[in-house]
Amino acid sequence: MSPNASHFHETDPEKSSLLDWGRRLKIINGVARGMQYLHEDSQLKIVHQDLKASNVLLDSDYNPKISDFGLARLFGGDQTQDVTNRVVGTYGYMAPEYAMRGHYSVKSDVFSFGVLILEIVTGRRNSGSYYSEQSGDLLSIIWEHWTMGTIMEMVDRSMGERAAGGEIVRCIHVGLLCVQENPVSRPAMSAVNVMLSGGTVSLKAPSRPAFYIRKEGGDGCTGPYSGSFVGTLPSSGRSAPMSPNEVSITELEPR
């Protein structure tokens, strides 16, 4: 890793402006290829379990490197999913079936990747809470704009006006497919890479994202909180309130 390596999410607005659309697309494609390798191309199927912006490192050429495999799980043979009563991860990136019931699979990583795409395109972090009445999480806001046909209003303006609108909309579309509530509806990472490649590949219409919050009236659903936590699910399979902690985003400096 280069001495200039850094986490993707730069907190300094001047540094984030260095990430034009070409570099952001390079990051999206690189992470997508890396996740496909973990899920489908390596000898063992690996579920990362904690894919998020602060676990994506960039070298001096803005090539992304997926880091922090401390929570990763290995799946063998024909295993497709598992369940745990000890939920560990980061709100905002966690798939609903894992956060609420302890069920995890490669589709849990796909959900996290979808959140990551949407953050990269918008320059915003996902936020909200399972246990509050807050509204305004990123997935809900993006979905509202998507359904109203105003999605370009969500694009990070620091990329400049030269950003390719068609590519951006396609990436948002893929991101929304990845964060669908039903894990079966989410595409595999190999399919994600095909969709991101563009060409004549047509994309299905996405369904409402997980933890979607209606702006008016509400439907009882609340969005994910962008902090880390460790919690234990009761035997009933329902989730108990868990204490979130602040996530520290730092830049790697040379010694």
Q: Which residues are catalytic?
A: 50
Q: Which stretches within 92-242 are classed as H helix?
A: 96-101, 106-122, 138-148, 165-178, 189-196
Q: Which residue has the tokens 């809470």?
A: 129
User: Which CA distances in Å does 9 have to 13, 111, 139?
Assistant: 10, 18, 18
**Which has the closest alpha carbon to 233: 52, 78, 87?**
87
Instruction: Using alpha carbons, select from 198, 168, 151, 175 the residue that is nearest to residue 21.
Output: 168
Tokens of 131: 């246990």
Angle between helices 106-122 and 189-196 (to 10 degrees): 30
**Rounded Cα distance, 183 and 90, in Å:** 18
In whole angstroms, what is the distance from residue 210 CA to residue 255 CA? 42
